[in-house]
Amino acid sequence: MVHTFIYKHNGKPLYFLWDVESGSLFNVDDVAFLCALNRYGEPDEAGRAAYEALDGERVAECEAEFDELEREGALNAPQKIREFKKNAGVVKALCLHICHDCNLRCEYCFASGGTYNTARDYMSAETAKASIDFLIASSGNIRNLEVDFFGGEPLMNLDVVKETVEYAKARAAETDKRFSFTMTTNCLLLNKANAEWLNAEMDNVVLSIDGRESVHNGVRKSVSGKDCFGVILDNAIAFRKIRGDKKYYVRGTYTAKNKDFCADVLALNDRGFDQISVEPVVLPDDHPLALKMSDLEELEAEYDKLGEAYIERRKTGKWFNFFHFMIDLEHGPCLNKRLTGCGAGTDYLAVSPTGDIYPCHQFVGGDDAYLLGNVRDGVLRRDVRERFAGYTVLSKPHCAECPAKYYCGGGCTANALHFTGSPDGCYELGCALQRKRLEVSLAIWFIENVTGNNAD
């Protein structure tokens, strides 16, 4: 399968062919692009007319070049793998819902004010330690294990987090395992002492800020409905200062209220942050903040705009990394990872404050059909885990013709469930945005790595 796309850089079009099955990227001239559209795609009327008007000799040159690349297996390569099933046996990462309570009331929160539609509950140290024991016992020969402290707001239960980290480190020493700890916080309680502890113990810290002050305050309110951007920003900036080159992200959400989210990304960069993710909200279509398929063209244009700003800033003192533009065209993960994505329900599981196990954090508190067991008893619903192990890029019909499939891993099972009623369904807008981000990422990779930023 050959995917053709155009990226406008400095107002001029760059033409690309992306060979999905071999993982090959080509930059071509306008003649070859029209020839490729005609040969591999379905050109519209204008494209067909432009192709028919081309000089025959130049068309023949392009066709000969396509033939050569096809013989080399770099263009229109056949699909080599037709079947794959993941091993559902081992677990390597747990998301601990350390606290089903929150000190914010964000309008778009998928966790219903941090509660996940359950009681406002705090995980006990005993349950957290049982979760660590469960993870070690379920990890087989895997040595590198991960524990993510999530909420709600995990800093509201920091004493248990601290006790859990110490316990996990002790158990790791006994069992020859190695733990990585991460936390996502809204920064409201990120005072100096908490920041220093997180900096020392967490491998990655995610700071939730939505970008511009007006955008953030518009959707992320305190429990009493007050604005909180000032406190949160001050705490996040202070944490950034002590973080040095260790992993962190500022992570925002864009909604129907700020489809001009490029401005939010740049606002975060202007505040001194250089690891940034601003991501589309996922809400049912009838929610006032929901993004819909009718917004797609506008959102795609915004990613193009962000791509151009990104390229420019990375040449200057305002270098930053954008989570959804990260791509590796030289190495990248193994086939297992490319075909199965995040591992929800198989090697990645989430634990509720009472110790109940779910396929991932977005399933917690939802349909009991996805309640897998409890950390004290282990996984009881092996049938559900086996079902999740079977969800791969190859098993989902909507992935078959998608140019992003090996860079996406098949999409988010939770979003698919919420939108289609099935974890292996197609969340159409999410897939379309993933494809767009891949195109922009590939173009950026070309501009920065091949042309040395001199593509124009």
Partner 1 sequence: MKHIKAVSTKIFEKTHKTGCGECQAC
Residues in the site for partner 1, rule: CB under 8 A?
A: 16-17, 21-29, 31-32, 58, 61-62, 65-66, 68-69, 72-74, 77, 90, 92-93, 142-144, 146, 180, 329-338, 342-343, 347-348, 406, 442, 445-446, 450
Residue closer to partner 1 by CB (options 154, 212) is: 154
Residue closer to partner 1 by CB (options 218, 366) is: 366
Q: How far is the CB of 226 from partner 1 (least distance, A)?
A: 31
Residue closer to partner 1 by CB (options 31, 432) is: 31
Residue closer to partner 1 by CB (options 270, 328) is: 328
> Measured between alpha carbons, how far is residue 123 from residues 101, 129, 134, 352, 404 in Å?
10, 10, 15, 8, 38
Residue closer to partner 1 by CB (options 229, 348) is: 348
Residue 451 to residue 366: CA distance in whole angstroms? 49
Pairing label, strands 321-322, 178-185? unpaired
Q: How far is the CB of 75 from partner 1 (least distance, A)?
A: 9
Residue 19 to residue 238: CA distance in whole angstroms? 45
Whether 455 and 445 have beta carbons less than 8 Å apart is answered as no
Tally helices (H) and strands (E) across the chain: 14, 18
Q: How far is the CB of 19 from partner 1 (least distance, A)?
A: 8
Q: How far is the CB of 231 from partner 1 (least distance, A)?
A: 28
Q: How far is the CB of 58 from partner 1 (least distance, A)?
A: 8
Cα 181–Cα 196–Cα 235 angle in degrees, nearest 5: 100
What would the 3-class secondary structure string for 91-138 be?
CCEEEEECEECCCEEECCCCCCCCCCCCCCEECCHHHHHHHHHHHHHH
Residue closer to partner 1 by CB (options 57, 159) is: 57
Strand (E) positions, 298-368? 321-322, 348-351, 356-358
What would the 3-class secondary structure string for 134-170 be?
HHHHHCCCCCEEEEEEECCCHHHHHHHHHHHHHHHHH
Q: How far is the CB of 335 from partner 1 (least distance, A)?
A: 5
Residue closer to partner 1 by CB (options 10, 144) is: 144
Question: Three-state DSSP class for 378?
Answer: strand
Residue closer to partner 1 by CB (options 145, 429) is: 145
Q: How far is the CB of 279 from partner 1 (least distance, A)?
A: 11
Cα 20–Cα 259–Cα 404 angle in degrees, nearest 5: 10
Residue 188 to residue 354: CA distance in whole angstroms? 25
Pairing label, strands 178-185, 204-208? parallel
Pairing label, strands 204-208, 247-254? parallel
Q: How far is the CB of 369 from partner 1 (least distance, A)?
A: 22
Residue closer to partner 1 by CB (options 90, 170) is: 90
Q: How far is the CB of 455 from partner 1 (least distance, A)?
A: 11
Residue 349 to residue 347: CA distance in whole angstroms? 7
Q: Which amino acid is at 93?
A: A
Whether 358 and 344 have beta carbons less than 8 Å apart is answered as no
Residue closer to partner 1 by CB (options 117, 451) is: 451
Q: How far is the CB of 276 from partner 1 (least distance, A)?
A: 16
